[in-house]
Chains A and B, each alone.
Chain A
Amino acid sequence: MSQIVPLFRREFLGYFRSPVAYVFLVAFVIISVSLAFSPFGGFFESNDASLRVYFSFYPWLFLFLVPAVGMRLWSEERRTGTIELLFTLPVTCLEAVIGKFLAAWAFLNLAILSSLTMAFTIAYLGKPDWGVVLSTYAGSILMAGGYLGVCSLMSALTKNQVISFVLGLIACAALLILGFSGFTATLESILPVAAADAVANFSFSTHFEGFTRGVIDARDVVFFLSLMGFTIFLNVVVLDR
């Protein structure tokens, strides 16, 4: 497992070898903040020193931004042929998948943490509940990992980054929409309530919601962790020749 370190380092620093990383980080901050201050967000109207409004857009934001980060993970290796180089170096497939996953996750976490400016803003404007702020950050980081697992898997399926992006977007959208009340209501009219509930349980939004209220539920943590584990496992299966 010590082989993960050099793979992680190369992948993580790789983001900063091109302007993409900086563009991404700036875009993330601008889009997330402007959504919160927009008429849809109503940050000031809520008259509340919390980040709830700000983070309520995260599931939607991740829907586009995580596939953008994850799309190149394996597609790029396939397109340039470096995958052949990587898999003839003394590393196992699992080490390679984990190393790359962790690098992309660390990069996403950097983006998430860049929103700490918002936390300082509300601390200046009022007295936020730091427990809730912390749990929301923890939830965002876990949710980013869940999205990323799905996108990394999709990226292993194709050497075309555009296809990889679209597949990641569709898969994440499916996992997001499962949890919306409109969708579950429709499901409940067709399926037994228990079955509809089970389906809704696979949604990002269902499991993220608790964190934004300051509740760290073991079930939510387990959901995101097992989603990451499962997608990493499938990722290895897809790449094993």
Chain B
Amino acid sequence: MIEVKGLVKSYGTKRAVDGVTFSVRRGDILGFLGPNGAGKSTTMKVITGYLAPTAGSVTVDGIDVTKDPVATKRRIGYLPESAPAYGEMTVTEYLNFIADVRGFRAKDTRLAQVERAIGLTHLESVRRQTIETLSKGYRQRVGFAQALLHDPPVLVLDEPTDGLDPNQKHEVRTLIRRMAAEKAVILSTHILEEVDAICNRVIIISQGKIVSDETPEKMHARKSGARLDEIFRQLTLSDA
């Protein structure tokens, strides 16, 4: 579903992403791990078409994101970091706007999509509240609902469980796992248990380069008995 080849993104002279290559298939839940500033978010922003790559290519469903960005954006559901949304709108107004832009123009199909997204993310109780009055957890769920609304084949989630309490984290993980069979999912995190809990592949990125790409089991096997965060420290510090 997603092919990233030799991706480079520079800000001035600094290379935030430096030659990253990987692919994600349907059914994959890829955990994107790395220290802060390693290039996780930047990579996701290029995949979703928000930033243009300096070099290399990204294709989604065989379509190059720089050649036909609107077509690839249709196939992607994206939850940006800290889930930005138009705070002055109510949850229902906001999701109706997203559905409208996503091409659900007929009133009944639009409402059906909005109801589905609200149901999936359990937003029924706050649907008439403006987003700016919601707690962090609910705001994150609104971002989730927005990403899921058009039932996209590709989900890109930037720190989806950031700022949630343990119950909410569990709920979000269950939701991701339930949907994953027919989707390609990329999620970034710096919470290592999360990788163990839901991902079936892990990429560790450090200073813009991939330092490991394997299953969580294989990673554990690298150093038997070691905890994931020890392996993480070893991989990302040795590179520094």
**B45 and A84 contact, CB distance less than 8 A:** yes
A81 at the interface (CB under 8 A from B): yes
Assembly CA distance A82 to B82 (angstroms): 10
Q: Which of B80, B82, B89 contacts A88 (CB 8 A)?
A: B80
Q: Which of B51, B70, B146 contacts A91 (CB 8 A)?
A: B70
**Contact flags (1/0) for B80-104 with A, using CB distance below 8 Å?**
1010111111000000011011110
**Contact flags (1/0) for A1-31 with B, using CB distance below 8 Å?**
0010111011000100110000000000000
**Contact flags (1/0) for B135-170 with A, using CB distance below 8 Å?**
000000000001000000000000000000000000
* Most chain B CB neighbours (cut-off 10 Å) among A5, A14, A18, A88: A88
A241 at the interface (CB under 8 A from B): yes
Given contacts A14-B86, A14-B88, contact A88 B73 (CB under 8 A): yes
| Residues of B close to A82: CB separation below 8 A | 84-86
| Residues of B close to A241: CB separation below 8 A | 50-52
* Most chain B CB neighbours (cut-off 10 Å) among A17, A18, A84, A91: A84
Given contacts A81-B80, A81-B84, contact A87 B50 (CB under 8 A): yes
Which B-chain residue is minimally distant from A92 (CB atoms)?
Answer: B70
Which A-chain residue is minimally distant from B76 (CB atoms)?
Answer: A88
Q: Which of A3, A17, A81, A85 contacts B89 (CB 8 A)?
A: A17
Assembly CA distance A90 to B73 (angstroms): 5
Assembly CA distance A7 to B102 (angstroms): 11
**A90 and B70 contact, CB distance less than 8 A:** yes
* Most chain A CB neighbours (cut-off 10 Å) among B82, B84, B89: B84
**A88 and B78 contact, CB distance less than 8 A:** yes
Q: Chain A's nearest CB lies how many Å from the CB of B232?
A: 27
Q: Which of A9, A81, A90 contacts B74 (CB 8 A)?
A: A90
B39 at the interface (CB under 8 A from A): no
Q: Chain A's nearest CB lies how many Å from the CB of B187?
A: 16
Q: Chain B's nearest CB lies how many Å from the CB of A8?
A: 11
A80 at the interface (CB under 8 A from B): yes
B207 at the interface (CB under 8 A from A): no
B59 at the interface (CB under 8 A from A): no
The number of residues on chain B lying at the interface, defined by a beta carbon within 8 Å of a beta carbon of chain A, is 28
Which A-chain residue is minimally distant from B94 (CB atoms)?
Answer: A10
**Contact flags (1/0) for A39-71 with B, using CB distance below 8 Å?**
000000000000000000000000000000000
B48 at the interface (CB under 8 A from A): yes
Which B-chain residue is minimally distant from A87 (CB atoms)?
Answer: B50
**Contact flags (1/0) for B48-71 with A, using CB distance below 8 Å?**
111110000000000000000111
**B87 and A88 contact, CB distance less than 8 A:** no
**A91 and B45 contact, CB distance less than 8 A:** no
Q: Chain A's nearest CB lies how many Å from the CB of B100?
A: 4
Assembly CA distance A85 to B97 (angstroms): 12
| Residues of B close to A5: CB separation below 8 A | 100
| Residues of B close to A87: CB separation below 8 A | 49-50
Assembly CA distance A212 to B13 (angstroms): 54
Assembly CA distance A3 to B102 (angstroms): 9
Q: Chain A's nearest CB lies how many Å from the CB of B9?
A: 11
| Residues of A close to B146: CB separation below 8 A | 85
Q: Chain A's nearest CB lies how many Å from the CB of B76?
A: 7
**A84 and B101 contact, CB distance less than 8 A:** no
Q: Which of A17, A81, A90, A92 contacts B82 (CB 8 A)?
A: A81
Q: Which of B52, B86, B87, B101 contacts A89 (CB 8 A)?
A: B101
Question: Among residues 76 to 130 in chain A, which have CB atoms less than 8 Å away from a CB atom of chain B?
Answer: 80-82, 84-85, 87-92
**B50 and A88 contact, CB distance less than 8 A:** yes
| Residues of B close to A92: CB separation below 8 A | 69-70
Which A-chain residue is minimally distant from B73 (CB atoms)?
Answer: A90
| Residues of A close to B51: CB separation below 8 A | 241
Assembly CA distance A241 to B46 (angstroms): 11
- Interchain residue pairs A-B with the least CB separation, the first 9: A81-B84, A6-B100, A90-B73, A17-B88, A88-B48, A82-B84, A90-B74, A84-B80, A88-B78
* B interface residues (Cβ-Cβ under 8 A, vs A): 45, 48-52, 69-71, 73-74, 76, 78, 80, 82, 84-89, 97-98, 100-103, 146
CB<8 Å pairs between A and B, sample of 19:
A3-B101, A9-B100, A14-B89, A17-B88, A81-B80, A82-B86, A85-B85, A88-B49, A88-B76, A88-B78, A88-B80, A89-B73, A89-B98, A90-B70, A90-B73, A90-B101, A92-B70, A241-B50, A241-B52
